Every structure is written in C-alpha cells, then in structure tokens.
C-alpha cells in the first residue's frame, strides 16, 4: 500500500470495470485508503467478489452493461443521487480485440467501441453535471499503448483507445471551469484475465517477443491501480488533459 490509510478518507469514487483486474485492484486500494467506492461491472457474481475485498463500509455495487452512452449516463447520475456525489471516477471497463482489419466486421467494432468509447462518453456526460462530480474532482479513463504504437491485429482496439485519448484532451478543456481534471492512463501489457486471453490466442513465442518490448517486463494490475489512485488524488491537482504513459518502457524503444 503506497497511500496512507487516511489518504482518501471521506471521499466517494466510482470505478467501472470493477469486476476484476485493474478496476478491482483500484477499488480495493481506494477502500483501503479510506474511500467509499461505487462499483460497476457486468457480472453480479464477480462484483460480489470485489465487494468482499473492500475495507470499510458505505460501498455499493451495480451490475450493468455500459455499451450505451445515454443509459450509462443515467446510471451514473442515479448512483450519485442515491449514494452521494463522486470525488472522482475511474472508467476502466473495456474489451480487447485482436483481428486484422481485413476480417473486422461491424459487430467487432461495436463490441470494442461499446464500453471503451460509448461507455466513456456516458461517464463524461454524467460527470459534466454538478450533482454527479464535485468541483475539483478527477476523471480517469483507461487507454493503451495501442493508441500510440501499431501492431498487427490491433486496428479496431487501437482506434478505440485513440478515441479515448482524444476525448480526454477535449473534456479537460470543457471541465476546466469547475477544476475537474481529466486524464487517461496509457497502459502497456498488464497481466490480467484479458491479457491471459490475449496470450492464449497468439502463442507463447509471440508473447515472449511482446514482453521483451517492455523494458521492465509485463506489469501487474497494481501498477495501473497506483497510477489511477495518483490521478484521483490531490497530488495530481495540476495535471489535466494528459495521456499518462505507464508501460514499463514499451513506448521508449
């Protein structure tokens, strides 16, 4: 634990994609540091597992599909109305896809852009309302080095993450009058369930080659959770409109 147990005392945060991986680790870290956390994920069962990890009380869980921007906005606004405004939101929900452009269909694009882009817009739409996020709050969106580096089979996923990074820069401008910070985390390869699905689909040799591109090897969920907590904290009070790279040296090569 790199934050004190009182670092987020009395604060309320929303975490999407909280059923597992990065979202789950971030939620647990915030709760351990004194925050109340609202969880959103698709699986009720896995959300319950995350909730069981949270220290303290006052947390809430909400099973939902974030593929529709308007439905997502209404959901986020409803949670804030019921449980209190948020000091910050971390949108980590998303879907990966490895498929060459020649084989990519509309349904593949819909899947990748659903939670990652439309869901992100829904979160942003809700956050723009004064009854959802407090002035001086923070929005953090999950992105990927795929938005910056081209690798075969990643065209749809890369496009979705590039959309998030671009959206962040505009939102930072739109929300500056309320001192709401908006940033994304551009992550390298992180050992999550989604990452394991990727490694199983491409074979061990390609995985070794991909890991070798990371100077420090693949990251762990906590590596991104700590970055998210930093951006949600007052320590990042002068950072907005940034695409913060956390990639073990991947993009430095």
Which residues are identified as catalytic? 157
Other C-beta atoms closer than 10 Å to the C-beta of 253 total 9
Residue 124: which H helix or E strand, with range?
A: helix 119-127
245: which strand partners? 186
Q: How would you list the strands of the sheet with 243-246, edge to edge?
A: 60-63, 36-41, 12-16, 86-91, 133-144, 181-187, 243-246
- Is the separation of the CB atoms in 134 and 177 below 8 Å? no
- By DSSP bridging, strand 243-246 and strand 86-91 are unpaired
């Amino acid at each position: 634990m790199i934050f004190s147990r009182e670092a987020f005392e009395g604060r309320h945060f929303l975490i999407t994609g909280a059923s597992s991986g990065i979202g789950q680790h971030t939620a647990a870290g915030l709760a351990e540091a004194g925050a109340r956390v609202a969880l959103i994920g698709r699986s009720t069962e896995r959300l319950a597992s995350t909730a069981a990890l949270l220290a303290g009380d006052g947390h809430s869980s909400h099973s939902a599909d974030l593929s529709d921007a308007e439905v997502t906005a209404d959901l986020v606004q409803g949670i804030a109305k019921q449980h209190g405004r948020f000091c910050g939101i971390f949108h980590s929900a998303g879907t990966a896809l490895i498929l060459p452009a020649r084989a990519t269909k509309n349904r593949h694009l819909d899947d990748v852009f659903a939670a990652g882009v439309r869901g992100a817009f829904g979160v942003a739409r809700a956050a723009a309302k004064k009854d959802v996020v407090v002035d001086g709050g923070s929005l953090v969106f999950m992105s990927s080095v795929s938005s910056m580096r081209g690798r075969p089979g990643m065209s749809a996923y890369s496009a979705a993450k590039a959309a998030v990074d671009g959206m962040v820069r505009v939102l930072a401008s739109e929300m500056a009058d309320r001192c709401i910070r908006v940033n994304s985390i551009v992550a390298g390869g992180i050992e999550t369930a989604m990452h394991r699905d990727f490694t199983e689909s491409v074979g061990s040799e390609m995985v070794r080659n991909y890991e070798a591109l990371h100077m420090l090897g693949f990251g762990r969920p906590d590596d991104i959770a700590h970055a998210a907590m930093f951006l949600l904290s007052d320590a990042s009070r002068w950072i907005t409109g940034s695409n913060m790279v956390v990639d073990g040296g991947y993009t430095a090569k």
